[in-house]
A and B are shown apart, each in its own frame.
Chain A
């Protein structure tokens, strides 16, 4: 057995109201790829951020190469040869690739930056592990895949022997992910040790020597990659045999309720600008919009909801052109919107649950009359929704920031679905939500559809798309690369469309 590099024992880390990691256990051997898997919120990232010194644990010990520490700082961790590629890239967008890589560890001549020495070293790593990057481009100009390679070079440049990658494939196309695996394998052959955080079982099985499963902040099991299977891992991750999934429920289809006609919309990145997107949704159906994050899905949702300018094209809702109308007027035309980020747009975290629930209906009777809010009615209204959507803890006066992710999301879903609008636009409705809430939320979407709503479901979770949608449109680089009926759709077909392949299906 090879040398043990890292041994984390009894790690506890709490955030206000949440035990993120309890009695966390993890070890890493030299030269292995060790995957850390679990559902969203299982504590994988938190445990690794403790290792990298970004969080100080309340309890536990971290042994690195035989030395034991109660906690580390990022600087210490880097000094010990630990590098981390974070889920949210830690890059300065306005600076060049080179500047980002050398930041904090700059080769210098006098006080000046020694550009040549930096370039040489970057080229060395680029060549050794096949990490192609453009050193002089600014980070805001490069693709997500390249930004990830920059992050990896950055950790190597800082002398990392141990690499932690936090959900590296979440932002990649399947092809880019395959490239990443080649890079990881060549790094492993070069003697590096790798921690790979993921919740995608196939990937994990393809690449891992060992696999550690976490659930609810706890260590569940550590198994050898060669002696396990996807169903076993799934059972360990979820803690029960039952799987979500299923297939779309039948419902009577009606007229077209929403149609998007050849719209052009400005985007945060070159690849996320919408260029000529068209589709329509009928009453009583769910249109799933699949794609790798950052291919224009966020921009599409914002454009429909009136939160982003439409430069060209039309959005027709309930027979009226609504593009570039203020969000509230679009809502009055029959749109409900579950925004992708509940903390930014879905909720006011500092208002209480009843205020958040009533936000869309408070301006009309019976919740208010003549501009005066009738708090008794608001409370009644909110308590009704809390009961029927099983929001826990069941208090109308709790501040929204005190709710767990799943329950906070249920507040948003309850508010939007209960309006019974003609069109329901749901953007990443179950992202970062526990499994129980996922079930509730998916059932609500189905129920809205059965009640005759036209539902647009934007999700980067293929399983979610496949189990809910009647039709599926796939987005890639700001365009719709294909539309398939759910009966003909499978992961492979969608995966191909998600990478821009096969425009005609």
Chain B
């Protein structure tokens, strides 16, 4: 009995909160990017690729320019350029957004691998002491261990992400811009007859999702870690899409979805240290994705059935 308690306290403690947030943040930025485009009825499956491109741009710029700010800027610009390309292909050339997105994802993996070799002469991963990471936030809690664990040593964009959830919710549900955006996604004809330029609005949110995707990538390579690894997003963009669906394109519920993924991830790494097979642990986030999406869809379906029932 004591042994079990010991194991439980090893797994569930204050640092679990921290590591959940840590693991959730890169997914959160992807989620918010997808929430924005989904409100305009665009499924931004290419967010994974945008993140990879951005992560590479961030590391490269930070290494050569010696500044994380410039790294972040480069990542954002990269994200916007890729998103603009996707928006052009989808809105102007009328290509299917899913196909464009998957194309971008595959291109991102291959192209960053190629550039990694060309620029740094390495393959697999690149880390170097000259890569300047994003700053970490530290406060003095007078040595209180619990507060230190809970609130100290966050990377800059971890708390910023949480603030963004509320900012985005405010923009979507309280502002004129948000109302118009939602109308574009829900009933484009209604929006159009109200004099709203639907295509322009869609293009606009694609660019903003490029900004968020850029931050996601930069945070991944300069905040979450301090290196570039081939395919370093490792499905986080897709999980962002899943969290967006889980939350029904609502930023707040999307965030909850991210926290579930983050929790599963950090729980997994703890269980691994207890000796569970690593393959099993690595599987957890993906299983959780499937389970979470299934639950979300079942809930939606059940609500729909109840609404329509004649009895």
Seen from chain A, the residues whose Cβ lies within 8 Å of a Cβ on chain B are 52, 54, 74-75, 78, 84, 86, 88, 90-95, 99-100, 102-106, 108, 111-113, 158, 264-268, 273-275, 311-312, 478
Seen from chain B, the residues whose Cβ lies within 8 Å of a Cβ on chain A are 174-177, 179-180, 182-183, 186-187, 189-196, 305, 308-311
Q: Is the CB of A93 within 8 A of B195?
A: no
In the assembled complex, 22 residue pairs joining A and B whose CB atoms fall closer than 8 Å, in A order, are A74-B194, A74-B195, A78-B195, A88-B189, A90-B193, A92-B183, A95-B183, A99-B179, A103-B179, A103-B191, A103-B196, A104-B180, A105-B194, A112-B175, A113-B174, A264-B311, A266-B305, A266-B309, A268-B308, A273-B309, A275-B310, A311-B309
Q: Is the CB of B186 within 8 A of A74?
A: no
A94 and chain B: residue at smallest CB distance:
B186
Cα separation A106 to B190 with both chains bound (whole Å): 15
13 new A-B contacts at CB < 8 Å, known A103-B180, A275-B310: A74-B192, A75-B195, A90-B190, A90-B194, A91-B187, A105-B194, A112-B175, A113-B174, A158-B194, A264-B311, A273-B308, A311-B310, A311-B311
Q: Which residues of B contact A106 (CB under 8 A)?
A: 176, 179
Query: Which of A54, A75, A103, A273 interacts with B190 by CB under 8 Å?
Result: A103
B194 and chain A: residue at smallest CB distance:
A104
Cα separation A449 to B77 with both chains bound (whole Å): 70
> A273 → chain B, closest Cβ, in Å?
4
Q: Do A312 and B311 contact each other (CB < 8 Å), given the known contacts A95-B183, A104-B180, A111-B175?
A: yes
10 interchain residue pairs of minimum CB distance: A104-B194, A266-B308, A273-B310, A75-B195, A90-B190, A264-B310, A106-B176, A92-B187, A103-B194, A92-B186
| Total inter-chain residue pairs, C-beta < 8 Å | 84
Cα separation A493 to B205 with both chains bound (whole Å): 55
Cα separation A86 to B183 with both chains bound (whole Å): 17
Q: Which residues of B contact A273 (CB under 8 A)?
A: 308-310
> A189 → chain B, closest Cβ, in Å?
27
A83 and chain B: residue at smallest CB distance:
B193
Tell me the dominant secondary structure on chain B's binding face. Answer: helix
Q: Do A112 and B176 contact each other (CB < 8 Å), given the known contacts A78-B195, A105-B194?
A: yes
Q: Is the CB of B196 within 8 A of A104?
A: yes
A310 and chain B: residue at smallest CB distance:
B310
Find the residue from A99, A113, A158, A312 having the highest chain B CB count within 10 A.
Answer: A113
Query: Which of A86, A111, A274 interacts with B310 by CB under 8 Å?
Result: A274
Q: Which residues of B contact A102 (CB under 8 A)?
A: 179
Cα separation A94 to B39 with both chains bound (whole Å): 12
> A164 → chain B, closest Cβ, in Å?
12
Cα separation A91 to B195 with both chains bound (whole Å): 14
> B24 → chain A, closest Cβ, in Å?
28
Q: Which residues of B contact A264 (CB under 8 A)?
A: 310-311
Cα separation A361 to B182 with both chains bound (whole Å): 46
Tell me the dominant secondary structure on chain A's binding face. Answer: loop
Cα separation A158 to B180 with both chains bound (whole Å): 15
Q: Which residues of A contact B176 (CB under 8 A)?
A: 106, 108, 111-113
A268 and chain B: residue at smallest CB distance:
B308
Find the residue from B191, B193, B196, B308 having the highest chain A CB count within 10 A.
Answer: B193
> B208 → chain A, closest Cβ, in Å?
15
Q: Is the CB of A111 within 8 A of B183?
A: no
Find the residue from B180, B305, B308 having the highest chain A CB count within 10 A.
Answer: B308
Find the residue from A91, A103, A273, A311 having the highest chain B CB count within 10 A.
Answer: A103
Cα separation A243 to B8 with both chains bound (whole Å): 85
Cα separation A268 to B304 with both chains bound (whole Å): 10
Q: Which residues of B contact A75 (CB under 8 A)?
A: 195
Q: Is the CB of B310 within 8 A of A93?
A: no
B193 and chain A: residue at smallest CB distance:
A90
Q: Which residues of A contact B190 (CB under 8 A)?
A: 90-92, 100, 103
B171 and chain A: residue at smallest CB distance:
A111
A76 and chain B: residue at smallest CB distance:
B195
Cα separation A75 to B191 with both chains bound (whole Å): 11
Cα separation A15 to B194 with both chains bound (whole Å): 24
> B309 → chain A, closest Cβ, in Å?
5
Cα separation A103 to B186 with both chains bound (whole Å): 13
Q: Do A267 and B310 contact each other (CB < 8 Å), given the known contacts A90-B189, A91-B190, A103-B194?
A: yes
Cα separation A40 to B105 with both chains bound (whole Å): 49
Q: Which residues of B contact A95 (CB under 8 A)?
A: 179, 182-183, 186
Cα separation A88 to B308 with both chains bound (whole Å): 21
Q: Is the CB of A267 within 8 A of B308?
A: yes
B177 and chain A: residue at smallest CB distance:
A111
Cα separation A158 to B189 with both chains bound (whole Å): 17
> B19 → chain A, closest Cβ, in Å?
37
Q: Do A84 and B193 contact each other (CB < 8 Å), given the known contacts A93-B186, A478-B310?
A: yes
Q: Which residues of B contact A86 (CB under 8 A)?
A: 193
Cα separation A274 to B190 with both chains bound (whole Å): 30
Q: Which residues of A contact B308 (CB under 8 A)?
A: 266-268, 273
Cα separation A451 to B192 with both chains bound (whole Å): 51
> B169 → chain A, closest Cβ, in Å?
13
Cα separation A405 to B155 with both chains bound (whole Å): 63
B174 and chain A: residue at smallest CB distance:
A112
Q: Which residues of B contact A92 (CB under 8 A)?
A: 182-183, 186-187, 190-191
Q: Which residues of B contact A88 (CB under 8 A)?
A: 189
Cα separation A75 to B198 with both chains bound (whole Å): 12
> A446 → chain B, closest Cβ, in Å?
34
Cα separation A95 to B192 with both chains bound (whole Å): 16
Q: Which residues of B contact A312 (CB under 8 A)?
A: 310-311
> A36 → chain B, closest Cβ, in Å?
19
